[in-house]
Chains A and B, each alone.
Chain A
Amino acid sequence: MSDTFSAINIISAVAVLTGLGIGFGALLGVVSERFKREDNPLVEQIDALLPQTQCGQCGYPGCRPYAEAINQGDALNKCPPGGEATIHALANLLGREAEPLDGEAQSEAKVAFIREAECIGCTKCIQACPVDAIIGAAKLMHTVIEDECTGCDLCLDPCPIDCIDMLPRSTPLTQWQPAIMPSSHVIVSDRISASGGVHVERL
């Protein structure tokens, strides 16, 4: 009697556990299929740190391909528009060593400007622009939409008559930035000379 009882016990325990295993296995399988992510979230994060000029100075056709290459182990220092700040941000994200920039750092943000009187309307720059920031048609003057231009320089080479200049980006008044003064003393005990005297009287 007790033998049959324990046999039923064992069988039921095995059956229950097997059932649970199959059930959860199926659930996991379904979920992994259903919520599958094609893209790599790390690539997304790297891409978000890149300046999105799409200039190709890194040797890849756009920022995203470079982000993928970085994820595969390529160097972090191939992005001149991003400069040191981008390298440090990437090094922080990936836990890698920050390397000095490979190439010349850009001193200020620039945009392309077409000397419109000289433009012959060849449309070569329009085809080169990665962000569709140049408007114009064949044999008609072209011009650059300043707000959309990322300053990637890609339109300079195709231009047969060199009528494109890179000019500093104009800043609207609403984006005026105050000159940051370096603070000389941070906390009171840091002061070396006491010549200034500390004003403690209330107004």
Chain B
Amino acid sequence: MSSAYDFPGGIHPPQRKQRSNQAALIEAPLPKRVVLPLQQHSGQPATPCVVLGDVVKVGSVVAKREGMISSDLHATISGTVGEISATHITIEGDGQDEWQRLPHLDWQSAAHEALLTRLSESGIVGLGGAGFPSHIKARVVERHAIHTLVINAAECEPYITADDLTLRHYPAEVLEGAQIIAKLCGAPHIIIGIEDNKPEAIEALQRELQHDQTNSQPVPVELTVIATRYPSGGERQLIKKLLDLDVPSGGLPADVGVLCHNPGTLLAILQAVRDGQPLISRIVTLTGDAIAQPGNRWVRLGTSVKELLEQAGLNPSGLHQVIQGGPMMGSPLLSLDTPVTKLTNCLIAATIDELPAPPAESPCIRCGECESVCPVALLPQQLHWYARAQDDAKLARYHLFDCIECGACSYVCPSHIPLVVDYRDAKSRIRLQRIEAAKAEYAKHRFEFRQARLAREEAEKQARREARQAQQRRMSTSAAASSDTVDLRGLRIAHAAAKASVKKAEKTLARVAQEDPKQSLDDLEMQLATAQENLRAAELQLAQAREQQSSKESP
């Protein structure tokens, strides 16, 4: 079954998947030592909750999530905590592999809250690459109605076969995991999008779906096989291809009622719910011409990349570079002493012939090839000029932030211009500018708050002084009327304005909190506090003025 819709552009790079999809999925040997970075997900890094020398089991929480978008981190081997630094926790293994599991949860009868809590405390994040915490993603229904859950099994990048092997070995588990998510987000429909270069996985899924029809699944599942073309595994591209829906610029798939999940994530979700097993291992593709036994492995998170590649028969003399991720979007590792994280889906140990260094960059000849392959229908050539010229206004107008960094433009560029590098640089530069601007704004609000607080304190002091004087006057009964006339009307207006600004700040705070509960409200709270300080000062001044007025009239 093929889809009638399509996204623009795309390329057909050599697949090179045979190297890793022939061998069976096996467990990698238990590492003696694991290094767990505190940030293996998008958002805030986790905070360590163990101390040096603590004895941990597989699945013990070693770092807690911090802030809204963050994820728990678990020990992936049993042993003792050997080192805690600002960026990672090291665990020295005892070789026992003792487990600590959470209780079994029956997802069909469990409450939504219980399932969400389970996802959160199991540290599940999207294993496709972005690492977005799954419990936050499941909360999307609070603001969007979801009509379709898409299982993104396209796996369009060359070399990578982790999802392929996941589906071949665990089709039933992935489908059950999808049912859990469908239940959580109330999706009445599930679509699996898979490229036609994975016949075994397609067959396994079809068999499982036929089997399922007899013992009816709660939500109907549809399998859609699409033609192989890079980057059909991009979230937006897949949604366009399967459902003919366009995710708006700057928006999320949830804006058009779709949720996308990777098969690996769904498997991890099922394991967390059914078996009470937190995210402590993942399937990693080991491939490239510099290793002797390529294939997919179940790897404990935190295992050293070097150890893993050596176990797969690394030939150090032939090794040119190791790429984490795919050859199109992945990044070369500068050192092999890095750990496997929740986001490591593939390690390519490439020889120099396999992935040669790109030839020297030549000037752009304005051939327009990049424009014809861009899957987002951007103008890569224009973006290239503006990125190099640091023309941020133009970059915004040409929608730089819609670029998915798929690398199709760099791939076809006859001048070998590293276009995506330019876009990444420009994006991070603009992001930093935004952070700086937000910081300046925040500093301004803190300054205003301080001014307001000082004004309030001054007003309070004044009020106390006046009260003391009034007392003395009453004692001596000498009507030494103050000569200054009180501007009661002006004060009343100031008071009303202060009251209005408090109300406005409260309203803004409530609105923003409701619109986007994930974002930090510190700044708005500061503005509200400022307005309240101003109101208090105005109240004091007004009360004092009234006092004066009445004392002047009464005697």
Chain A interfacial positions (CB closer than 8 Å to B): 38, 47, 51-54, 62-64, 130-133, 148, 150, 173, 175-178, 180, 183, 185-188, 190-191, 196-203
B51 touches A (CB below 8 Å): no
Task: Identify the 5 closest CB pairs spanning chains A and B, nearest first.
Answer: A52-B440, A131-B446, A188-B363, A52-B444, A52-B443
Number of chain B residues close to chain A: CB under 8 A: 33
Q: Please give 15 more A-B residue pairs, beta carbons under 8 A apart, in addition to A175-B432, A186-B388.
A: A52-B443, A52-B444, A52-B447, A54-B444, A64-B444, A130-B447, A175-B428, A186-B363, A188-B365, A191-B363, A198-B363, A198-B365, A199-B414, A200-B414, A201-B414
- Chain B residues closer than 8 Å to A197, beta-carbon distance: 362
Tell me which residues across on chain B come within 8 A of A185, comparing CB atoms.
363
Q: A-contacting residues of B (Cβ < 8 Å)?
A: 87, 359-360, 362-365, 385, 388, 390, 411-412, 414-416, 424-425, 428-429, 431-432, 435, 440-444, 446-447, 449-451, 497
Q: Give the distance to chain B from A184, nearest Cβ to Cβ, in Å.
A: 9
* Contact present for A176 and B428 (CB under 8 Å): yes
The answer on a CB contact under 8 Å between A200 and B444 is no
Closest to B449 in A: A132
Among A51, A131, A191: residue with most chain B CB under 10 A: A131
- Tell me whether B364 and A188 are in contact (CB under 8 A): yes
The one of A148, A150, A186, A196 that contacts B362, using a Cβ cutoff of 8 Å: A196
Q: For residue B300, give the distance in angstroms from its CB to the closest CB of chain A.
A: 24
Bound-state CA distance A200–B417 (Å) is 12
Q: Is the CB of A177 within 8 A of B432?
A: yes
Bound: A47/B447 CA distance, A? 13
What are 20 A-B pairs at a CB distance below 8 A? A38-B497, A52-B444, A52-B447, A54-B443, A62-B447, A62-B451, A63-B444, A64-B444, A131-B450, A173-B87, A176-B428, A177-B432, A178-B428, A187-B364, A188-B363, A196-B360, A198-B415, A199-B414, A200-B365, A203-B411
Closest to A150 in B: B443
B435 lies within 8 A of A202 (CB) = no
Residues of chain A within 8 A (CB-CB) of B363 are 185-188, 190-191, 198
Query: Using Cβ atoms and an 8 Å threshold, which residues of chain A touch B415?
Result: 198-200
List residues of chain A with CB within 8 A of the CB of B412.
202-203
Nearest A residue to B359 by beta-carbon distance? A199
The residues of A that contact B451 with a CB separation of less than 8 Å are: 62
Closest-by-CB residue of B relative to A200 is B414
Contact partners of B429 in chain A: CB under 8 A: 177, 180
User: In the bound complex, how far is the Cα of B365 from the Cα of A52, in angstroms?
Assistant: 44
Q: How far is the CA of A185 from the CA of B384 in the complex (A)?
A: 13
With a CB–CB cut-off of 8 A, which chain A residues contact B425? 178, 180
What's the Cα separation between A51 and B431 when bound, in Å? Answer: 17
**A148 to B414, Cβ gap below 8 A?**
no
Given A175-B435, A178-B425, A190-B363, residue A52 in contact with residue B441 (CB < 8 A): yes
CB–CB A198/B447 < 8 A = no
Q: Distance (Å) between the CB of B513 and the closest chain A CB?
A: 22
Give bound CA distance, A51 to B433, whole Å: 12
Nearest chain A CB to B38 CB, angstrom units: 11
Q: How far is the CB of A170 from chain B (nearest CB, A)?
A: 11
Query: What is the CB-to-nearest-CB distance from A156 to chain B, in angstroms, rounded to a whole number?
Result: 18
Set of chain B residues within 8 Å of A186, measured between Cβ atoms: 363, 385, 388
The CA of A62 and the CA of B445, in the complex, are separated in Å by: 12
Per the bound structure, the CA–CA distance linking A131 and B359 in Å amounts to 52
Chain B residues near A180 (CB-CB < 8 A): 390, 425, 429
